[in-house]
Chain A
């Protein structure tokens, strides 16, 4: 199967700083990647769709200036949590679909546990 690698797996940062999370498709090209947020014991909430070479598409209620997404290549998307606050602490997961079609099998990164202190 395809591999999606997410880095870092966990990060602790001070309130007010920014944190960058990387999502890489290791053995396939992904024109589209997806970023999810997961609260404890809850399902995944789609935050945004990352599109290679163009702006990301954000879901309703997600602040695009807070969660900056860059998809500069066919194998890398980054999520930057800007001016992080404790309420941004969460588990963030990315996914990608082979060929980019969102209606096909999703391959997930390992997730990033962000703790803002």
Chain B
């Protein structure tokens, strides 16, 4: 069945380090792909999305490219900040909405 697999955390990085959080999906057809971010005690906010192959979603310095050949949508940021500390969820649409398990990121000064 359809599913999303994302890199398990927690991830701890120093400020200005490079971030990659891996995400792969299994879905029938051509799903849309999303990254959501959840700050402590809050709901989920859309970070970025891509709706077709080779699309690149970007927002707040984060990027992810829809790779159909590898069924991946890895999240990257070149230089993380303390304020990026949060839980990141990869998600895909198939016949419903599928979430990854979430990756907790802590950025230390």
- A residues whose Cβ falls under 8 Å from a Cβ of B: 1, 6, 34, 41-44, 93, 95, 97, 102-111, 113
Contacts and interface: CB of A to CB of B under 8 A. Distances in A.
Given A103-B94, A103-B95, A108 B100 contact: no
Given A105-B32, A108-B43, A110-B42, A43 B89 contact: yes
B97 A109 contact: no
B65 interface: no
B46 interface: yes
B49 A105 contact: yes
B101 interface: yes
Contact of A111 (B42, B91, B96, B97): B42
A88 to B, nearest CB: 18
B63 to A, nearest CB: 18
B99 interface: yes
